[in-house]
Structure 1
Amino acid sequence: MNVTFCGHSQITKADNIANWLRNVTQDLIEQGATTFYLGGYGEFDSLAASILREQKKKYPQIELVLVLAYLNTGRDVSGYDSTVYPPLENVPRRFSISHRNRWMVESADVVVAYVLHDWGGAATTLRCAKQKKKQIISYRDEMGS
């Protein structure tokens, strides 16, 4: 089972979100999730990667994959098991992240979402996941807001 994440670049109540992510990722791993696609931008992505690094100590079989929107950026990719660059060569640079996000959704079975409003890139990615009928685990739903 492949899992990806979509969330806002800035987060509030990081402790609550961290606990929620810890529980969600553990449940997914116990249900057979092995590959986690991460975008690597913004606070939610960083928090998700950090929680998964914790989980990897207990579940060494999981794989953390950084999905690159751009080649040759000199990004630090330590902390990930591997990187992948989707077929974005012909995509204008300003659309690279949105196309990368769509690829992540298409490649995943489950989308873990921290999306609290319906504008911006995270909301667009969540709409894509809904259109593709992906299983979505939403912070907003869990918190009843």
Structure 2
Amino acid sequence: MREHTCCFTGHRKIPQTELGNVKQELRKAIISAINDGYLYFGAGGALGFDTLAAQTVLELKKKYPDIRLILVLPCLSQTRNWKAANISEYERIKQKADKVVYTSKEYTRDCMFKRNCHLVDNSSLCICYLKEQSGGTAYTVKYATTHGLTVHNIAL
């Protein structure tokens, strides 16, 4: 299954001036992955790129009904302190996902790290939006690279 699984990682904040291009490049990257035989798409449920990736997979399921969205979530309370509109979209995506996995019940200092490792450890392709060389996205991309995943950075 790993050879047919793609994960996503990216920044929570996408500049409004880049959003249209990011959406377009993400869609192209996912379609390319589908054409290469990828069926399973893992997203971490965070705001920003994770949400955009999940939304795009759900939209593409209309044209490619065999693909599956797998949400790998860090904890049950991930949306604590989120705005109501963001929580509503998160719940909509969860309802439409084909599978939801939690890496921890409670929030811990390392639950995001565990979520990111789970995504990478079960994938062979990582589609990312990486513009900064520090932080969780940079770490996850480095982890993916050292574990042999093909990495496609749509921010380039």
TM-score by length of 1: 0.88
* Same amino acid, percent of matched pairs: 30
How many Å separate the matches in 2 of 1:11 and 1:66? 20
What 5-or-longer segments of structure 2 have no aligned partner? 80-89
- Count of equivalent residues: 139
Q: CA RMSD in A?
A: 1.9
Does 2:122 match 1:117?
no
1:1-145 equivalences under 5 Å are: 1-12=4-15, 13-71=18-76, 76=91, 77-86=94-103, 88=104, 93-140=108-155, 143=156
TM-score by length of 2: 0.82
* Aligned-pair CA distance for 1:51: 1.0
What 5-or-longer segments of structure 1 have no aligned partner? none
Q: Which amino acid aligns with 2:70?
A: V
Q: Which amino acid aligns with 1:8?
A: H
* Contact 2:61-2:67 at 8 Å conserved across structures: yes
How many Å separate the matches in 1 of 2:115 and 2:52? 19
